A and B are shown apart, each in its own frame.
Chain A
Amino acid sequence: MPQPETKAALRVRNLRKTYKDVVAVDGIDLDILAGECFGLLGPNGAGKTTTIEICEGLTEADSGEVEVLGLHWKSDASALRQKLGIQLQETQLAEKLTVFETLRLFRSFFRQGPGAEDAIRIVQLEEKRDARVGGLSGGQKQRLALACALVGDPDLLFLDEPTTGLDPQARRQLWDLIEEFKAAGRTILLTTHYMEEAERLCGRVAIMDHGKVIAQGTPRELIASIGVEHVVEFSAGDAVPDLAGIGAMAGVRDVRTENGSVLLQVTELHKAVPGLLDELGRQGIPLTELRTHSATLEDVFVHLTGRHLRDE
């Protein structure tokens, strides 16, 4: 059967990988289109890194099919390596080399691509050009790792937890860079356990848990799929509100307690909040805290698994 005219940069079918007795990847399917930024979102241990490393040709799958840029690892490994830009989780580059020397080294591994100076400019490390890698901050090291992934002018960029462990400012700086790559039309697959990161950077997201993709779509679609637009959270001090009464209010989809707070998933904020205040007044419950936010991918994950993305 002829393939339909899609520009799939990465196609994964029924991928499985087991380590000893742990099932790391349990039959996942992914389609990443050329020019999109696709996110694998999930908690630690969900199988994101195993999945991305199989796609990078660093880990062999037990079964399943991986097609990268129309090529396969078994038959086209050396051609594929020239076309991919890879940033691994927690790589420490040689500490005694300078930024420029590191990029010169990585550039020598590729047939074509921007020079070391250009790569330095792209990731805005000009001031650190001659600084030793060992002396860079966490954010600068991540930007250098990103530059190492770019020196081959890749058709597909793999970023495994690019901002994990960075402070908020360094994270935002990295996001700006990734947004520039997106704007330049690069295809990106990134993994993250930060829902803000996935929401901000990714056109489409696959949520992973326990080796499976439990939801897939644009962040907007995923949030809409749980049928909830807003979350209302309140605390009542030591008083115990009647949750059944609150749950019965119009527009409330779900009520649960968490760390002494009550969380309501609601569809219409402008009706739910006044209704809640009336109901609490009727029950004689004092309100010590009240917060609302629009539903996020975090709420999607909680809705699907009953757990938070960053549960330890």
Chain B
Amino acid sequence: MSNHPLFQLTLMRMREFIREPEALFWSMIFPIALAAGLGIAFRNRPPEVLKVAAVTPRLAEALRQEKLLDVTQLPPQLAEQFVRTGKVALVAEPAADGSVVYRYDDTNPEGRQARMLADQAIQRASGRQDPIAGNDQIMREPGSRYIDFLIPGLIGMGIMGNSIWGPGFSIVDARRKKLMKRIVATPMPKHYYLLSFLLWRMILLPVDVGVPLAFGVFVFGIPLRGSFGALAAICVLATLAFSAGGLLIASRVRTIEAASGLMNLSMVPMWILSGVFFSSQRFPDLVQPIIKALPLTAVIDALRGNMLQGAGFAQMAPQAAVLGVWLVVCFGLALRLFRWR
């Protein structure tokens, strides 16, 4: 088996990949860094605790009954200075007639919220009974957060980028250096050469998808509600479709610059339109059919459907069909147009 040309060619892909540290970085570390950064930026924060001040121990004690308030007891002058500089949202002071004075900025939402919470705490501490008891039921479910939306988008984007850049650059480079011409001058059947790229992508696919997926699941608790088989199938189909696109882009060009331009031209619109970072529903209805026909939209929709809503093979059929058409058209054109020298 190790004497088979396809084995040796795929081995060459592997060696060229692992001996290129930059490639390793961009395809593995970069998506994780991106997901981590965005996940932190858009994380769901716990309910905010407001800082308030009280000038007497009795008021402070009453305010501490409210969990959402962080209470400090301060002398009056210092307390006033704190509220002016925004270090606390509100100061509670006893008035001469036994009432309470709240000092706060009513144009600041934090001030208004602190006023409500402080008043409620002081009234309850003074013996107010609420006529109707209210019970809270907290809804903070995985699956509806931004990171849940983002990870399938990043996985789709990763599959696209790796499948187009990887084979595309290798092919243009081999053509430019006349390595392709040299290999074609041997008895090796030509389709092995192209197949080795697909095979290598398939070998890398578990890493391409697994790294961001594992990161999402273990770090952010992303749900995986759909069948794993359907998820794997859509990733394989997507890799084949995008690799075919990469072969098509690289089928004629002779320089890295030209290839780069063509690759960016085909990928950048999809980064924007296909809903990696925000929902593609935000674009006008008129362009929705075009957006739906893009391969990246199909992959991302299918991945989100599978991971977040538990979609199986049947529900992903339309997206699979879109990818299938791209695969057949791109591969057919690439075979026709491919220049071996």
Interface residues of A (CB under 8 A from B): 56-58, 78, 81-82, 84, 86, 88, 90-94, 96-97, 101, 104-111, 132, 148, 152
Distance, CA A88 to CA B182, complexed state (A)? 7
Do A88 and B181 contact each other (CB < 8 Å), given the known contacts A94-B12, A96-B19? Answer: yes
The residue from B9, B20, B177 contacting A105, defined by CB atoms under 8 A apart: B9
Query: Sorted from nearest, which 6 A-B pairs have the closest CB atoms?
Result: A81-B187, A92-B177, A109-B186, A109-B188, A108-B8, A96-B19
Q: List 20 A-B contacts (CB under 8 A).
A: A58-B185, A78-B187, A81-B185, A81-B186, A82-B187, A86-B186, A90-B178, A91-B181, A92-B178, A93-B179, A94-B12, A96-B20, A97-B12, A101-B11, A101-B15, A104-B8, A105-B11, A108-B3, A108-B8, A152-B186
B4 to chain A, nearest CB (A): 7
**Contact, CB under 8 Å: B186 / A96:** no
Question: Quick one: CB contact mask for B1-30 with A, threshold 8 Å, 1 for yes?
Answer: 001110111011001100110000000000
B118 to chain A, nearest CB (A): 68
**Contact, CB under 8 Å: B341 / A58:** yes
Q: With a CB–CB cut-off of 8 A, which chain B residues contact A132?
A: 19
- The residue on B at minimum CB distance from A84 is B185
Do A86 and B178 contact each other (CB < 8 Å), given the known contacts A78-B187, A97-B15, A101-B15? Answer: no
**Contact, CB under 8 Å: B8 / A56:** no
B88 to chain A, nearest CB (A): 62
Cβ-based interface call for B272 (8 A): no
A90 to chain B, nearest CB (A): 6
Distance, CA A194 to CA B20, complexed state (A)? 39
**Contact, CB under 8 Å: B4 / A108:** yes
Q: With a CB–CB cut-off of 8 A, which chain A residues contact B203?
A: none
Contact residues of B between 158 and 206, Cβ < 8 Å to A: 174, 177-179, 181-188
B177 to chain A, nearest CB (A): 4
**Contact, CB under 8 Å: B187 / A96:** no
A110 to chain B, nearest CB (A): 6
Additional A-B contacts beyond A108-B4, A132-B19 (5; CB < 8 A): A91-B182, A93-B179, A93-B182, A97-B15, A108-B5
B128 to chain A, nearest CB (A): 77
Do A58 and B9 contact each other (CB < 8 Å), given the known contacts A92-B177, A92-B179, A97-B16? Answer: no
**Contact, CB under 8 Å: A105 / B178:** no
- The residue on B at minimum CB distance from A83 is B187
- The residue on A at minimum CB distance from B185 is A86
- The residue on B at minimum CB distance from A96 is B19
Distance, CA A78 to CA B185, complexed state (A)? 10
- The residue on A at minimum CB distance from B184 is A58
Distance, CA A91 to CA B181, complexed state (A)? 8
Q: With a CB–CB cut-off of 8 A, which chain B residues contact A108?
A: 3-5, 7-8, 188
Q: With a CB–CB cut-off of 8 A, which chain B residues contact A58?
A: 181, 184-185, 341
Q: With a CB–CB cut-off of 8 A, which chain A residues contact B177?
A: 91-92
- The residue on A at minimum CB distance from B6 is A108
Q: With a CB–CB cut-off of 8 A, which chain B residues contact A91?
A: 177-179, 181-182
Interface centre among B11, B19, B187 (most CB of A within 10 A): B187
Distance, CA A86 to CA B184, complexed state (A)? 11
**Contact, CB under 8 Å: A105 / B8:** yes
Q: With a CB–CB cut-off of 8 A, which chain A residues contact B179?
A: 91-94
Distance, CA A86 to CA B4, complexed state (A)? 21
The residue from B7, B19, B181, B187 contacting A111, defined by CB atoms under 8 A apart: B187
Interface centre among B3, B16, B19 (most CB of A within 10 A): B19
Do A94 and B5 contact each other (CB < 8 Å), given the known contacts A58-B185, A110-B187, A111-B187? Answer: no
The residue from B4, B185, B188 contacting A56, defined by CB atoms under 8 A apart: B185
**Contact, CB under 8 Å: B182 / A101:** no
- The residue on A at minimum CB distance from B180 is A91
B166 to chain A, nearest CB (A): 14
**Contact, CB under 8 Å: A94 / B16:** yes
Q: With a CB–CB cut-off of 8 A, which chain B residues contact A84?
A: 185
**Contact, CB under 8 Å: B12 / A105:** yes
Q: With a CB–CB cut-off of 8 A, which chain B residues contact A56?
A: 185
Q: With a CB–CB cut-off of 8 A, which chain B residues contact A90?
A: 178
A190 to chain B, nearest CB (A): 16
Q: With a CB–CB cut-off of 8 A, which chain A residues contact B181?
A: 58, 88, 91
Distance, CA A93 to CA B5, complexed state (A)? 16
Do A109 and B187 contact each other (CB < 8 Å), given the known contacts A91-B178, A92-B179, A93-B182? Answer: yes
- The residue on B at minimum CB distance from A88 is B182
**Contact, CB under 8 Å: A106 / B16:** no
Q: With a CB–CB cut-off of 8 A, which chain B residues contact A93?
A: 179, 182
Q: With a CB–CB cut-off of 8 A, which chain A residues contact B341?
A: 58
Q: With a CB–CB cut-off of 8 A, which chain A residues contact B5?
A: 108-109
B18 to chain A, nearest CB (A): 9
Question: Quick one: CB contact mask for B328-341 with A, threshold 8 Å, 1 for yes?
Answer: 00000000000001
A53 to chain B, nearest CB (A): 9
Q: With a CB–CB cut-off of 8 A, which chain B residues contact A111?
A: 187
Q: With a CB–CB cut-off of 8 A, which chain A residues contact B12?
A: 94, 97, 101, 105
